[in-house]
């Protein structure tokens, strides 16, 4: 069997603090451990013992090395060179945390006569259990004159007595003797350059910069260097501990590693104005936590939370060795079969831009919304939904360009797939929009569009006729809503019907609402006029001279199959009637004929009505409620395309 030469005193020098040594050592034990101690490993982690032929010490292997251990490239007897490592204090003893290594020999006989280092031995002085190389534990590994102790009332345990016995010898490692016993050995004395440096845990020297991919929770001191590719807005939250605020930013290093950094409360105040997108920073001393995939799409196993002693230092002279961003653009055609909630990058030509509208979110706050139509060379088009500030920044610029007849290429970094109206893509707080970016994909799209792609026919995947649409996205009739039992399940059903509005309840089409705002959230609870003549909100316990008016519109719709009642709230009702609730109530109170004209202008016209159907309980009575969430004017050309597509798919199914 092959043999190799190990680095003399490599273990001792590494433990003494020399992290630039790159020693050649042998793995004399290796096993998979449970990193969170909950019975089922969260992910593979490997630890063991490494030897320089004379001494051994514990070693922890970083997560990126797990594949080597699982595949058997690293196993008991393997000879490796430690390219990158740090020394940490774990359980009162120093441990080598291996970040990167080179396998020199995958299999080799045990070299030399390695023994436990005094530091490894001292960590067990108060614990009579000694770990074997094969991963098992046993009591009573005596050497010299053992002294019996009893950790409990039943099991006698022997501890090794190291004093006054010069004949103590260590059991040698071999295939016939896989277990070694602790023995008193002279302490390793490092070279003079290591003297008087203090304990390693107290080392105040700047942390060595490591790749983002090498980060792991076993590192006590670390620093990473990366370019900020995205910076989120300040978000406020409320939980059992009270109110707080947080913002995130993403880092990209020269090796392509990415990680998200979170700053809460005090750290937000320290770093929010410091961090700028596109600049390079060195970040050190943060708390590493497992990534939460529901909120973090980056290809990283960890995320960083900055703490009181964390630092974020600008690197003003950084060159272009760190890229400004990474893109993984997907064709629009692939979005059809992409699961809802997937985070991805897309690029396409903006062919349409809708005006901004105000919508109400689930938490009661209002935000802006704008729809951008994108097409690419895959023969498909998709709706990009912009939210919030994107509507006024990039959205206004895009609208101006399209209205001038200039159709720009738009790249979307970090968009989320949803299926609200077929398949579409929406922006999130960490999204980035690039108008006519200087990228090869953008230049290719521009050449295609100008060379005939402008007139090429495409099929939208964001309409009700989308072949991949789910049950909640199909077109139906008024009668089938009841016949099919829609809305009776745990989740609401979303359907679209082509129908006419035949009646409004004009007596109570709106309600008086509380205008109070808590942060960016408006109360919107119903208010009543008190004896003082002021409006009173029972929830806020406040009085106001003026109140808001919000729509609560009851209307009856009809198609060829029957009629049903539908409720339209603020945004949808305002889109339907074309005026605010305050304007309409003013018309009514003043006897203005525009009140009747507004109501009558919507009657007996065809619409495509998007409905949320859900069973709810009122006064212990359960009934199905239909809520109007979107209204579109009926367009004969679009309806004809829908019917032709429906016919073609029906014929193809036979």
Q: Which has more pLDDT, 463 or 149?
A: 463
Most distant CA pair in the chain, distance: 112
Least confident of 195-209, 263-277, 625-639: 195-209
Report the pLDDT value the prediction gives residue 109, as an integer from 0 to 100.
85
Q: Show the DSSP H helices in 318-477 as ranges.
A: 389-392, 394-403, 440-450
The residues near 62 (Cβ < 8 Å, ≥ 6 apart) are 97, 98, 99, 100, 214, 216, 218
The helix (H) or strand (E) run that includes residue 648 is helix 636-652
pLDDT tens for residues 542-555?
888 989 999 999 99
Strand extents, DSSP E, 514-581 = 517-518, 521-522, 528-529, 535-537, 542-544, 548-559, 562-569
As a whole number of Å, the end-to-end CA separation of the chain is 68
Q: What single DSSP character describes residue 7?
A: P
pTM: 0.45
pLDDT tens for residues 362-378?
666 678 889 999 999 99
Nearest to 48 by CA among 120, 119, 147: 120
Residues listed for the chain: 654
Cα–Cα distance between 455 and 396 in angstroms, integer? 25
- Rounded to the nearest integer, the mean pLDDT of the chain is 78
Report the pLDDT value the prediction gives residue 275, as an integer from 0 to 100.
92
Report the pLDDT value the prediction gives residue 463, as an integer from 0 to 100.
58
What domains can be seen in the chain, in order of their start residue? 10-105 (2.40.50.140), 209-314 (2.40.50.140), 329-460 (2.40.50.140), 473-509+552-653 (2.40.50.140), 513-548 (2.20.25)
Using the predicted structure, report yes or no on whether residue 22 has a pLDDT greater than 90. Answer: no
CA distances from 227 to 223, 383, 479 (A): 14, 31, 57
Cα–Cα distance between 304 and 131 in angstroms, integer? 33
Could you give the dihedral angle defined by the CA atoms of residues 82, 83, 87 and 88, in that order, rounded to the nearest 10 degrees? Answer: -90
Using the predicted structure, report yes or no on whether residue 332 has a pLDDT greater than 80. Answer: yes
Contacts of range 141-150, beta carbons closer than 8 Å, 24 or more positions apart: 141/179, 141/181, 141/182, 142/181, 143/168, 143/169, 143/170, 143/181, 143/182, 143/183, 144/168
Instruction: Calculate the CA 433 to chain-centre distance.
Output: 19
CA angle 46, 296, 303 (to 5 degrees): 45
Q: What single DSSP character describes residue 494?
A: E
The helix/strand/coil state of 121 is: helix
pLDDT tens for residues 299-329?
888 899 999 989 999 987 776 778 878 888 9
């Amino acid at each position: 069997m092959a043999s190799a030469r190990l680095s003399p005193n490599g273990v001792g020098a590494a433990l003494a603090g020399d992290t630039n040594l790159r020693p050649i050592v042998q793995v004399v034990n290796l096993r998979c451990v449970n990193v969170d101690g909950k019975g089922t490993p969260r992910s593979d982690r490997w630890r063991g013992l490494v030897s320089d032929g004379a001494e051994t010490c514990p070693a922890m292997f970083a997560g990126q090395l797990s594949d080597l251990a699982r595949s058997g490239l690293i196993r008991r007897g393997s000879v490796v060179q430690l390219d990158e490592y740090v020394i940490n204090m774990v359980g009162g003893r120093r441990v080598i945390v291996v970040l990167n290594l080179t396998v020199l020999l995958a299999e080799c006989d045990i070299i030399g006569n390695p023994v436990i280092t005094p530091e490894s031995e001292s960590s067990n002085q108060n614990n009579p259990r000694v770990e074997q190389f094969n991963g098992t534990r046993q009591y009573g590994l005596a050497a010299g004159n053992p002294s019996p102790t009893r950790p409990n009332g039943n099991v006698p345990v022997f501890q090794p007595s190291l004093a006054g016995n010069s004949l103590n010898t260590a059991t040698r490692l071999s295939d016939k003797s896989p277990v070694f016993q602790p023995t008193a050995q002279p302490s390793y004395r490092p070279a003079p350059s290591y003297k008087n440096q203090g304990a390693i845990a107290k080392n105040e020297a700047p942390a060595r910069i490591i790749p983002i991919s090498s980060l792991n929770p076993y590192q006590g001191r670390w620093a990473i260097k990366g370019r900020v590719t995205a910076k989120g807005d300040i978000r406020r939250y409320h939980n059992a501990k009270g109110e707080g605020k947080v913002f995130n930013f993403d880092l990209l290093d020269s090796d392509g590693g990415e990680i998200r950094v979170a700053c809460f409360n005090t750290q937000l105040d320290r770093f929010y104005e410091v961090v700028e997108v596109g600049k390079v920073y060195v970040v050190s001393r943060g708390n590493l936590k497992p990534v939460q995939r529901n909120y973090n799409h980056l290809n990283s196993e960890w995320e960083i939370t900055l703490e009181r002693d964390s630092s974020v230092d600008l690197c003003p002279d950084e060159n272009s060795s760190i890229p400004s961003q990474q893109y993984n653009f997907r064709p629009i055609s692939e979005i059809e079969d992409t699961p809802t909630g997937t985070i991805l990058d897309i690029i396409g030509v903006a062919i349409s831009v809708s005006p901004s509208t105000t919508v109400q979110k689930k938490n009661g706050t209002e935000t802006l919304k704008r729809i951008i139509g994108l097409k690419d060379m895959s023969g498909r088009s998709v709706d990009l939904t912009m939210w919030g500030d994107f509507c006024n920044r990039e959205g206004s610029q895009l609208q101006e360009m399209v209205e001038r007849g200039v159709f720009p290429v738009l790249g979307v970094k970090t968009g989320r797939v949803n299926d609200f109206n077929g398949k579409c893509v929406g922006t999130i707080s960490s999204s980035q929009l690039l108008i006519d970016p200087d990228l090869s994909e953008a230049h290719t799209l521009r050449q295609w569009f100008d060379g005939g792609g402008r007139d090429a026919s495409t099929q939208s995947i964001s309409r009700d006729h989308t072949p991949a649409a789910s049950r909640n996205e199909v077109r139906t009739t008024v009668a089938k809503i009841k016949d099919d039992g829609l809305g009776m399940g745990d989740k609401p059903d979303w359907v679209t019907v082509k129908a006419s509005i035949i009646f409004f309840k004009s007596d109570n089409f709106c309600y008086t609402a509380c205008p109070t705002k808590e942060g960016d959230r408006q109360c919107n609870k119903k208010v009543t006029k008190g004896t003082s003549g002021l409006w009173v909100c029972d929830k806020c316990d406040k009085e106001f001279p003026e109140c808001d008016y919000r729509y609560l519109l009851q209307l009856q719709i009809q198609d060829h199959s029957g009629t049903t009642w539908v409720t339209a709230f603020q945004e949808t009702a305002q889109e339907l009637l074309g005026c605010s609730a305050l304007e309409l109530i003013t018309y009514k109170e003043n006897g203005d004929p525009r009140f009747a004209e507004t109501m009558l202008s919507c009657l007996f016209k065809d619409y495509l009505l998007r409905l949320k159907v859900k069973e709810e309980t009122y006064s212990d009575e359960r009934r199905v409620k239909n809520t109007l969430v979107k209204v579109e004017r009926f367009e004969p050309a679009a309806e004809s395309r829908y019917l032709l597509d429906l016919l073609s798919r029906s014929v193809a199914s036979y």
